[in-house]
Amino acid sequence: MKPCYVQWRPRLAGAAMFLAVAPPAPSHSKPAAPAVPGIWVLNQEQTSCSVSLRPAGRPQQVLTFHIDPAMDAWGFSVAGEIPRIGALHREVEIGVSFLPNATRLASTAMLVRDPDTNEELISITLPSGPPEQFAGAAGLLVEAKGREHVQIELPDTQKAFDDLRTCNEALLMRWGLNPQLLSSLSRKPRPMNGVQMVNPVDYPEVSINRREQGATTVRFSIGPDGRVKGCAPLISSGFPALDAQSCRSLIKRGRFEPALDQNGRPITTESVTTIHWALGY
């Protein structure tokens, strides 16, 4: 599940207006430490794991792969010297190919701004789980509107893939989730298409008045019916009102395709997500 990003802005005329903003690419889209050209760097953060690569030569582009910790979601972002694909926060249909086998995956991309650096980057979500092609790929090609936009050489992808998996499993265990149980599922829980679980109208009025902003990471249960049954903050935003509202919104609107066990039966599972609360003026 992508981290939710909620932003509130006042109308210039004085009346309140709420604005939904697309989820940002992970703030770790740049390596945590300076990367040697052509070398993968593992980024271990409080709520996520990713691997970043700064290829040799030009154009200079920083490529970051990430896995959603608890769900069957996989994606990457490209920062640095990038071509412009579409408008900010608007999805564009693209094709992603892992070379040399060149199997093309239909996907979507979105041009966003890194919430920490304000740098533009391309955020790309891949369908279903991590593609088998990545572990043995020698290159990556992104095409949009019938023409090539990004092509990056990928060295030693097997090690990058293994490091990312190991880091992700350690993170799940720290949160009290069982990586082996999740990997044994015939289907992990997935957010239902078109369901906006946290809306800008949810921004607590007391937090708006106090100009409170932050990110809350929560752990929650998803029942066999796909509804959120329970929720508790794992990592606080620093503001009780934002933490409490994160859980209230998920319980009220959270709708998922439930996890399926090895026999294809819906079961209850635990999951984790991060909700970003930001005030824009």
pLDDT in tens, 246-261: 999 999 999 999 999 9
Q: How far is CA 264 from the centre of its chain?
A: 26
What's the pLDDT score for residue 72?
Answer: 61
Distance (Å, whole) CA 109 – CA 84:
11
Torsion of CA 274, 272, 171, 162, to 10 degrees: -100
Q: Which whole number is the average pLDDT over 121-130? A: 77
Q: Which whole number is the average pLDDT over 121-125? A: 85
pLDDT (tens digit per residue) in 145-192 = 777 778 888 888 888 888 988 998 999 999 889 988 888 999 888 888
Q: Which tokens belong to 82?
A: 């990038």
ω before 100 within 30° of 0 (cis)?
yes
Query: Of the segments 82-86, 98-102, 140-144, which one has the largest average pLDDT value?
Result: 140-144
Domain ranges for the chain: 40-177, 182-279
Q: Which whole number is the average pLDDT over 123-142? A: 78
- Please state the CATH superfamily assignment of the domain spanning residues 182-279 in this structure: TonB (3.30.2420.10)
pLDDT (tens digit per residue) in 202-219 = 999 999 999 999 999 999
Of the listed ranges 4-8, 130-134, 266-270, the least confidently predicted one is 4-8
What's the pLDDT score for residue 6?
Answer: 58
Q: Which tokens belong to 278?
A: 């930001």
Burial of 64 (C-beta count, 10 Å sphere; 0-12/13-18/19+)? buried
pLDDT (tens digit per residue) in 18-34 = 222 333 344 444 444 44
Percent of the chain exceeding pLDDT 90 equals 27
User: pLDDT: is 136 or 54 the higher one?
Assistant: 136
What's the pLDDT score for residue 23?
Answer: 37
